[in-house]
Amino acid sequence: MNQPEILYMVVPCYNEQEVLRETAEQLKNKYSALMSEGLISRESRIVFVNDGSKDQTWGIIKELHEKAPELYSGIDLAHNSGHQNAVLAGLMTVKDICDMCITMDADLQDDVNTIDEMVKKYYEGNQVVYGVRSARDTDTFFKKFTAESFYKFMKLMGADVVYNHADFRLMSRRVLQELANFKEVNLFLRGMVPLIGFQNCKVYYERHERLAGESKYPLKKMLAFAVNGITSFSTKPLKLITTLGFVMSVASILAFIWAFIAKIGGFTEHGWSSTMCSIWLIGGLQLFCLGIIGEYIGKIYAEVKQRPRYIIAEFLNDAENKQEKN
């Protein structure tokens, strides 16, 4: 390492007024330590991305920038675009003015002290460094079960994702430039980044409890995120429809045989057998298959419209090379 390189942090924020100042303070202390050790350049910045927050999040970001423009930057999206789009907006905005970039959430659940190891791994030649949870001891049984099931199911469906890794990762400028070539609207960064390749490694950390505020990923959003991830990176669900159709057809034949025997034995009312077999089995199968196909058609519909994934209303940055990316 001849001289320290520029590190930009991209921190997506949605209604994070309760925790934002503490997050900024902890990252400031971490940056000071890294600069003192000569690991990062003094041109490094912390970029908060306001994803259409309804509280005072953007006001706090502007306040931080006004007090320390040499450290804090801010991106204000014109409307709420979603977590993945907010992360991408930050990455694409800083991709040409940094040497490496780390993404992390604003809730301080990701361990700030892990940044040191990430930067060191970058200097060892790694283009991507994944922050991976070492354990899920702080999760409830339901949260732990569903999260682990999600990663296992994604792997089963053929999507290359890093187990127990969310969006806490370091990427080099080269990786960011390659990521810019991915034009899909339905974003799933956990699957997109591994597709890029290059030398990579993992660092492990213990995830903390959320410092303040509420989770921005309730069960409904988590399920939608899982469906988006699976359908964005795998066509196996479509292939499974054929297999399921065959299995259900065999099951229907067996059900008809059982119903016929039951009818001969006089155990059923007239018309019950045909109703059970036709409506429950065939109807349920058709609706299920149509639902899967509909998910893929919906994605095609969103992709062909080619609408912008995000719109940047304002970019606060004192660096010379200011950019705005739509």
Tell me whether residue 159 is exposed, middle or buried, using C-beta atoms within 10 angstroms of its C-beta: 0 to 12, 13 to 18, 19 or more.
buried
99-122 burial, b for 16+ CB within 10 Å, e for fewer?
bbbbbbbbbbbbbbebbebbbebb
Report the alpha-carbon distance of residue 100 to residue 128 in Å, rounded: 9
- Does pTM top 0.85 for this prediction? no
On whether the 7-233+308-316 domain is CATH 3.90.550.10, my answer is: yes
Mean pLDDT by runs of 10 across the 326 residues of the chain is 86 90 91 91 92 90 91 90 89 91 88 90 92 72 68 69 81 92 82 85 80 57 65 67 71 73 62 63 70 75 76 79 42
Please, are residues 179 and 193 in contact by the beta-carbon 8 Å criterion? yes
What was the pLDDT predicted at 278?
67
What was the pLDDT predicted at 234?
64
What was the pLDDT predicted at 271?
59
User: What stretches of 160-313 show up as alpha helix (H) in DSSP?
Assistant: 173-179, 189-196, 219-233, 236-264, 272-275, 284-305
- For the chain, the domains span 7-233+308-316, 236-305
Please, are residues 75 and 46 in contact by the beta-carbon 8 Å criterion? no
What was the pLDDT predicted at 62?
92
What was the pLDDT predicted at 108?
84
Residue labelled with tokens 């039951």? 262
Nearest to 76 by CA among 96, 56, 95: 56
Please, are residues 318 and 69 in contact by the beta-carbon 8 Å criterion? yes
